[in-house]
Amino acid sequence: MLITKQELISRTKSYISDEMLSLQEGLTLVLSSIALNLFAMNATKTVDEYLSSPAISMLGIVTEDGLIDIEKVYKAYCESEDTFKPIVVDLEVIGMGKYIFNKEDIETIYKYLQG
């Protein structure tokens, strides 16, 4: 399945808002919401830089017209020997502590990216 950069950004923002921010409250929710909006404001530039890197180009996940093959990335993840190991992301800078992504979280992210 191919998606545009804008779909990647908006669907990622939806995932973060629905699945991560919904777990927060008080000041942590405020700080996390601000961080999410700042992410969204700068996301196009960040995604452009990331997708134009030589490493990403070698992987063949971006078509010549700039579409992102999320199915190819997801299949590669599923075939990885590390598939079932949790992925820890440090979000302490915005007060969320460490966020642990497990297999179910990756499945949920993929569903969001599919639209």
Query: What does each of the 115 residues of the chain score in pLDDT, given as a tens digit?
Result: 999 999 999 999 899 888 887 777 787 778 778 877 787 788 888 899 988 899 998 999 999 999 999 999 999 888 886 667 888 888 776 666 788 888 888 899 999 999 9
Strand extents, DSSP E, the chain: 2-3, 68-69, 87-90, 98-101
Q: Domain count for the chain, please give it.
A: 1
Per DSSP, 22 falls in state G
Distance CA(29)–CA(20), nearest Å, equals 10
pTM for the full predicted model: 0.80
Pairing of strands 87-90, 2-3: unpaired
Helix (H) or strand (E) holding 23: none
Contact 51, 44 (CB under 8 A): no
Domain that holds residue 86: 2-114
